[in-house]
């Protein structure tokens, strides 16, 4: 297990005067550890032997079309499945089409049904339970069925961004529950402290609505890739901090039209074909890139998704910090970062990048 | 309000983690300390002395029955010297395992504080599923029993109706006796008016 803290430097307006504040509080920054936990019972960890599961979506449609991932609940659930597919190297969710009308409590029908239910097969949800996953496995842990029951007595909607107490965002709850379906448990219920969609707990107001690095490591540990990946988003990496103007970049061995969205907003275009001979693709011109001003989106956590001809193949959640303007003009300053990699490093504000660059060392 | 002040100061100034209780779970809404106390039908401290799986033919699902003995009952009437709680999950007749995410696991001999509600009705007869289970361990250095949450994260106090938790094994982990006093005080208080 590896963990590290992050060091941040704050600077006064007088050059060469430096104030470094070290934050190592768990309350502010969670340590980055690989802490995922596999769903298990009786000492046996659960898994799908063929690294895939077909979900029978029986959630139906609301009276008014959903504003996000809609128009139906099944569409939002299907997108939640696609989110896992986009980050899993090998595991794949499929959607039964057409869906089969059945009860999620028919435990021997071999169907992985997701549905709204007023009870858990005759037992009450209790006053606080929103959704539950029932996983059925043999003595080796090989799953044969997994059903997801959403509490029909709860107010539901679909939205990204800060979580509301009511209505609850079904999309992120579905991502969480489908994480159970593929074999992940709650890391925070096993003494782990890590940022993860599979944690049993979110704070109201949290923007966490997609698989995080630990979740992704989890699914790809249970179902390790048999082949090298064919496409990667390298910048911004998951869990990173970004600011100013920088690139969105990565590589894909073959590609049609590459686009990206931030928080499911309007798509942007990525330029494909830059030289990347270092990838496992076997060709050279497989890089993609675009320049992006992070100041135009709000400070805080965001999720970027990358698509090839409309099919998502990568995503990352990252944190944006801004200085409150889309393009800060007229500012200047140079500062010393002491004892970085054994030397003092001088950084200077560069307006064109809306960021600081290293201009010297001492 | 109770707070292990020395522990809190230590944790704050060392920058180490005090993790407040979550406000919302993906599957389960947060239960505050007053919620746990006032929503529970039974609050008891006991030792797990029995674990038995049963097949519920009517529900076509296995359930696991956890028996607690050596009980100290703070709230409710258990109608005997032991208490058995029924949880969804276990083995089906063909050997298939049914696992339910979030439902705590138990071991014979462990000592727990349980905030129980909806036994034989809910899939998990604990207030807030795992939130209604606290683990009791003996701190040999201090010579007292202390309390941690279901994931065995030490509880160092109760503040603003929420458990304060710490990842470090501090000497200031909340003694069981103190928790029981807090529960007793909360039982006497109107909900939300500790």
Q: Domains in chain A, ordered, with CATH?
A: 42-222 (3.40.390.10), 231-320 (2.60.40.650)
DSSP states of A88-112: -SS-EEEE-SS-----TT-TTS--E
Say if the Cβ atoms of B26 and A177 lie within 8 Å. yes
Residue A292 pLDDT more than 60?
Answer: yes
Query: Distances in Å between the alpha carbon of A271 and those of A188, A254, A275, B88?
Result: 40, 13, 12, 53
Say if the Cβ atoms of B97 and A144 lie within 8 Å. no
Q: Is B159 on the interface with A (CB under 8 A)?
A: no
Residue B168 pLDDT more than 60?
Answer: no
Q: Is A41 on the interface with B (CB under 8 A)?
A: yes
Q: Is B39 on the interface with A (CB under 8 A)?
A: yes
pTM for the predicted model, two decimal places: 0.67
Query: Distances in Å between the alpha carbon of A174 and those of A144, A187, B4, B65, B190?
Result: 20, 17, 38, 29, 37
ipTM over 0.90: no
Using CB atoms, pick whichever of A124, A172, A204 lies closest to residue B122: A124
Query: Distances in Å between the alpha carbon of A323 and those of A298, A354, B150?
Result: 10, 9, 42
Confidence class for position A36, pLDDT limits 50, 70, 90: confident
Rounded to the nearest angstrom, the minimum Cα separation between A135 and chain B is: 5
DSSP states of chain B: -EE-HHHHHHHHHHTPPEEPPPSEESSBB---HHHHHHH-SEEEEEEEEEEEEEEETTTTEEEEEEEEEEEEEEES--SSS-EEEEEE-EE-TTS-EEEETT-----TT-EEEEEE-STTTBSS-BTTGGGGEEEEEEETTTTEEEEE-TT-PBEEEEETTEEEEESS--TTPPBHHHHHHHHHHHHHSPTT--
Token pair 């529960």: residue: B183
Say if the Cβ atoms of B101 and A186 lie within 8 Å. yes
Per-residue model confidence (pLDDT) at position A245:
96
Say if the Cβ atoms of A203 and B22 lie within 8 Å. yes
Residue B194 lies in a domain: no
Q: How is residue A325 written in tokens?
A: 């303007």
Q: Is B73 on the interface with A (CB under 8 A)?
A: no
How many domains is chain B built from? 1
Average pLDDT for A115-129: 88
Least confident span in A127-131, A318-322, B120-124: A127-131
Residue A30 pLDDT more than 80?
Answer: no
| Residue A358 bridge partners (DSSP) | A347
- Model pLDDT for residues A303-318, shown as the tens digit of each residue: 899 999 888 888 888 8
Sequence-distant (6+) residues with CB within 8 A of A362 are A336, A343, A344, A345, A346
Q: What percent of chain A has pLDDT over 70?
A: 89
Mutate to test the interface with A, among B8, B13, B27, B137 (most CBs of A within 10 A): B27
Residue B6 lies in a domain: yes
How many Cβ atoms sit within 10 Å of the Cβ of residue A321?
A: 13
Residue A362 pLDDT more than 90?
Answer: no
Per-residue model confidence (pLDDT) at position A156:
94
- Structural domain that includes position B136: 2-188
CA distance A57 to A74: 6
Whether omega before A98 lies within 30 degrees of 0, making that bond cis, reads yes
Using CB atoms, pick whichever of B61, B97, B123 lies closest to residue A124: B123
Using CB atoms, pick whichever of A23, A126, A172 lies closest to residue B122: A126
Q: Is the CB of residue A74 less than 8 Å from the CB of residue A57? A: yes
Residue B162 pLDDT more than 90?
Answer: no
Residue A205 pLDDT more than 60?
Answer: yes
Cα-trace Rg, chain B: 17
Residue B193 lies in a domain: no
């Amino acid at each position: 297990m590896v963990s590290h803290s992050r060091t941040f430097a704050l600077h006064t307006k007088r050059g060469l005067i430096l104030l470094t504040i070290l934050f190592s509080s768990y309350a502010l920054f969670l340590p980055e550890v690989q802490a995922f936990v596999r769903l298990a019972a009786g000492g046996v960890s659960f898994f799908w032997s063929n690294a895939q599961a077909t979900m029978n979506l029986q959630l139906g449609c609301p009276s008014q079309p959903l504003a996000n991932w809609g128009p139906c609940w099944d569409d939002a659930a299907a997108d939640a499945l696609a989110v896992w597919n986009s980050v899993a190297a090998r595991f794949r969710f499929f959607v039964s089409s057409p869906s089969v009308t059945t009860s999620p409590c028919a435990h021997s029908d071999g169907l992985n049904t997701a549905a709204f239910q007023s009870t858990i097969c005759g037992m009450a949800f209790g006053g606080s339970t929103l959704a539950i996953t029932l996983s059925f496995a043999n003595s080796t842990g090989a799953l044969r069925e997994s059903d997801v029951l959403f509490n029909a007595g709860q107010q539901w909607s679909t939205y990204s961004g800060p979580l509301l107490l009511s209505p609850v965002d079904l999309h992120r709850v579905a991502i969480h529950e489908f994480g159970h379906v593929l074999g992940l448990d709650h890391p925070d219920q096993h003494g782990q402290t890590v940022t993860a969609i599979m944690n049993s707990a979110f704070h109201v107001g949290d923007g966490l609505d997609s698989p995080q690095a630990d979740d992704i490591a989890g699914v790809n540990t249970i179902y390790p890739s048999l082949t090298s990946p064919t496409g990667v988003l390298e910048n911004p990496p998951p869990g990173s901090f970004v600011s100013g103007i920088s690139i969105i970049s990565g590589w894909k061995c073959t590609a049609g039209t590459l686009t990206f969205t931030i928080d499911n907003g309007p798509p942007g275009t990525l330029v494909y074909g830059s030289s990347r001979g270092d990838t496992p693709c076997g060709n050279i011109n497989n890089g993609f890139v675009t320049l992006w001003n992070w100041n135009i989106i709000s400070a805080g956590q965001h999720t970027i998704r990358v698509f090839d001809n409309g099919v998502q193949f990568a995503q990352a959640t990252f944190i944006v910090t801004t200085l409150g303007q889309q393009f800060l003009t007229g500012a200047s300053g140079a500062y010393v970062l002491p004892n970085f990699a054994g030397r003092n490093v001088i950084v200077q504000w560069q307006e064109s990048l809306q960021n600081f660059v290293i201009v010297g060392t001492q | 309000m109770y707070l292990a002040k020395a522990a809190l100061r230590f944790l704050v100034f060392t920058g180490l983690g005090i993790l407040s209780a979550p406000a919302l779970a993906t599957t389960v809404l947060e239960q505050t300390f007053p919620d746990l106390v006032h929503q529970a039908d039974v609050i008891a401290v006991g030792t797990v002395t029995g674990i038995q799986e049963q097949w519920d033919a009517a529900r076509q699902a296995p359930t696991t029955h956890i028996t607690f003995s050596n009980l100290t009952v703070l709230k409710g009437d258990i109608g005997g010297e032991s208490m058995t709680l029924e949880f969804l999950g276990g083995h089906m007749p063909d050997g298939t395992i049914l696992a339910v995410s979030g439902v705590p696991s138990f071991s014979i001999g462990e000592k727990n504080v349980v905030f129980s509600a909806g036994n034989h009705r809910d899939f998990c007869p604990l207030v807030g599923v795992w939130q209604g289970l606290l683990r009791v361990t003996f701190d040999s250095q201090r010579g007292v029993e202390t309390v941690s949450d279901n994931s065995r994260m030490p509880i160092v106090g109760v503040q603003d109706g929420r458990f304060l938790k710490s990842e470090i094994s501090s000497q200031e982990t909340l003694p069981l006796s103190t928790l029981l006093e807090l529960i007793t005080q909360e039982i006497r208080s109107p909900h939300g008016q500790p």
